[in-house]
Each structure stands twice: as structure tokens, then as C-alpha cells.
Amino acid sequence: QVQLVESGGGLVQPGGSLRLSCAASGSIRNIDHMAWYRQAPGKQRELVAAITSGGSTNYAASVKGRFTVSRDNAKNTVYLQMNSLKPEDTAVYYCKLRQILERGRVYDYWGQGTQVTVSS
């Protein structure tokens, strides 16, 4: 089917930057959108940023102006550029691909997650 592999996480100081990558492989077809989520310990998983097949983007209020989601269709890869990082950004970041199925149904594929730690 579809496999997603995230990379680029790590330890960064407050105010620093990281770029996450999500490479998709397999039977990639009928993609509605791809998105980045994050989950901190003891908290619910939350949407960080999304990019649709048409190229429209959406961001959580907490990251708007600091994060940028983009894609490289030739490489089947989505990126999350994270600037001006704050300790509250510390979380496991997950990539999600939403595939459109028949009869209006959808299926979500998830990556394994990559750890982002913002600390001095």
C-alpha cells in the first residue's frame, strides 16, 4: 500500500530551526491531502499543518507564521520547515496521507513519527 517515513527530527535550541521530511512510497494515488501532526506526552495528537492536492495550506494558530509546509511531487515528499522553535513545540511529529477511496470514503496512512525536542 502506502508507506510514510519521517526524518529530520532532533534536538534544537529555542529560536532554532529544523526541517522535517516525509517520504511516501508504494501505491500513491488519489491523494486528498498530506498533513503533519504532533503529540506531546500526556496530550492529544493535534494537527500542525496540512497541504491539499491543490496546494492550499492550513496551520494551527500556535505555529502560524513560524512553520511552513511544502511538497515535492516528483519525490513524493512533504516537508515541514520549522523556524523560531519554542519549548512548547517539543513533541513526536507524525506525517499523514489521506487517500480518497470509492463512495466518498477516505483512508489515512501514518508515518512512524520523529522526535523534535526544543531545549537549551
C-alpha 40/C-alpha 17 separation (Å) is: 19
List the end-to-end C-alpha distance of the chain, in Å, as a whole number: 40
Contact 29, 109 (CB under 8 A): no
Q: What's the pLDDT at 86?
A: 98
- Residue 99 contacts by C-beta under 8 Å, 6 or more apart in sequence? 2, 29, 30, 31, 32, 106, 107, 108, 109
| Collapsed DSSP state (helix, strand, coil) of residue 59 | strand
Give the pLDDT band of residue 100 (cuts 50, 70, 90): very high
The neighbour count for residue 26, using CB atoms within 10 Å, is 12
Give the pLDDT band of residue 74 (cuts 50, 70, 90): confident
Give the pLDDT band of residue 109 (cuts 50, 70, 90): very high
Q: Which three cell numbers stand for residue 11?
A: 534536538
C-alpha 42/C-alpha 5 separation (Å) is: 24
Q: CA geometry: angle at 48 spanning 95 and 8, to 5°?
A: 50
Q: CA geometry: angle at 20 spanning 15 and 70, to 5°?
A: 100
Residue scoring higher pLDDT (53 or 87): 87
The predicted model gives 11-17 an average pLDDT of: 98
